Structure 1
Amino acid sequence: MSEGTKRVEWLDFAKGIGVILVIMGHMPSIVPNNVRIWIYSFHMPLFFLVAGYFAVVPNGTQDLMRTIKNKTLKLLVRGYLAFALCFMVLDIVFLRIDKETILKNVYGIFIGTIDRIYWFFLSLYVVSILFLFVTRVVRNYKTLLLVAVTFAVMAIVLKRYGINYYRVGSSLYSFGFYCLGYIANEKKILGYLYNIKYSFLISVIVSVLGSVLTLKMSPYILDISNNLSIDIVWNYILAICGIWVVIFLSRIVCEKAGNLSIIKILVFVGMNSFFFFPITNYMPELFRAVLNSDSNIVKILAYVFAFAIASCVVFIERKLQIVKASN
């Protein structure tokens, strides 16, 4: 049976690290471009792969429909639409955006092309639904990976024609990472690689040097949300190596120093990345815009504020779950 329903502390820690890396990737004035290229090479694929690791293939039509309903409520409604609505309300109240911008944002949300951090929920929803239907037909792992490669090629073609409605291009490109996570769980690949110590060293070398070469060849940043590269194999290799560096280190840190407060904090962030991921990326922008300042001190205060807000939201959400369970 898949381990899809169980929490894995070191993967929660890896997601916590992922949240920090996403924040760093969105700080071009502080983080050097070569570091950002390295971060972008794998930080979003990391989330797709971990999500796939916990994916479970439903048994029967009834189980399938129940899974689709749950994912629709969690990712599409509570994730994409809820955060889109909340952030737009905050924009209206604090930034005083005009009617034209509001209508443009509403349209972008409706067709799934708006370039805001909550795009990830829509893309993950599309990926997870695709996975459910593909695995109804395909059960062989090699065939599943072949489908993923086909989807990635289709994503590049769609990108060339400027088609990314409902994040279809981003989703098709990311489908492979989701499948790799699923297969890694089913075949216990992460445990196997963890016992091969030089796998970490090789991944570090390939990931870092690969990013340096990418910067020299073309100083672009691979952004799964809207900037896909035709170098599918190269980008997948860099992403997998970068992901493994984070996961390997996460497992070692959790095993050797899991009781440290900073480790527990990052595990907490990873466990609740559903809230920390969007809030810690949107709120600092709002904070700086309201204060009309972009100084380093304000940036630091903005992220402290964002993490505090995200923690409060998690606390409230847990309280509501307890009240709901007691009823």
Structure 2
Amino acid sequence: MNISFTASRHPKKKPEDHELSFGTRFTDHMLLMDYSLEKGWHDLRIVPYDNFSLPPSTTVFHYGQAIFEGLKAYRRKDNQIQLFRAKDNFDRFNRSARRMCIPEIERDSVLDALKELIRIEEDWVPSSHGTSLYIRPTIIATDPFLGIRASHTYLFFTILSPVGAYYPEGFNPVKIWVTSEYVRAVPGGVGEAKTAGNYAASLYASEKAQKEGYTQVLWLDGKEHRYIEEVGSMNIFFVINNTIVTPELNGSILSGVTRNTVIQVARKNGLSVSEKRISIDEICEAHEKGELSEAFGSGTAAVISPVGTIRYKDHILTIKNGVAGPISTMLFDEITGIQYGEKEDSFQWTEII
């Protein structure tokens, strides 16, 4: 598929690395592509970053037929730029598309276009450790139609954002609040798809948690409200009796690319990993017995985020005296070392642009 390019006539001032937060600044250009029943996916183009003009009747506004991904590009010490597990992210993007009745994209063509976009925006990729270029591919339904059915037209777009740390705490442990009142996803639903509605469903409980001084919500299963699923922006891991335990994928938990990265890196370093159904009561019991030594989340945005406090009803679990543990620290160092090209990538996850 040919890629056309229209250069921005009004380039923006690029921020200094120390000015970066997460997801507030955007580069000069974006990637677009259209879909129709007659043409399929077509008109792949790089254009200036700008607003969209859509009718008030556009399907995505009313029925939430939208998917997205999150991945990153990193500047290495040798000044080359590399992607991390981009093919895996776009494979998951297509799985989300299937679940949401959205036509799949041709992965390799879109990846080639993304690489070209990053080459054009090369100066936007920050260089300090802990910074990166966040990549947000998205598809929205664009039919101007109020009937409930899958749209016949779609817009694919990808925007880029130079970012710093996702959490203000950085790598310092965060506090998470367990809700047994609200649910994010249920069996048979769309919890494993990276679709907009999943995140809208999480906002109310997240607001309550933040008012109580907690960074994120830890969700329980939607049926029994007992079994741990995931945190709002991360998959979750616990270290119990020297085994890393994480909830097994069950159709309502997002299959995190970083989750899979953690599991593979941990096993390569000789650590035991168990993917299983685990209840919040088991976590409380392990903490009471002194068997819970660490907890941490994993995700593209934060990579590894140690958890220092978990609140569940009247239980407040302080883990590792509120400091990062050796396993989460090792995993963070190993994974970011691969992402920045500082450690050998024996998994072949990276690709220099």
- Measured against the shorter chain, the TM-score band is under 0.3
| Larger RCO (CA under 8 A, 6+ residues apart) | 1
Higher strand share: 2
Give the structure with the larger helix fraction.
1
TM-score, L = length of structure 1 = 0.27
The TM-score normalised by the length of structure 2 is 0.25
If you compute each CA radius of gyration, which structure gives the higher value, 1 or 2?
2
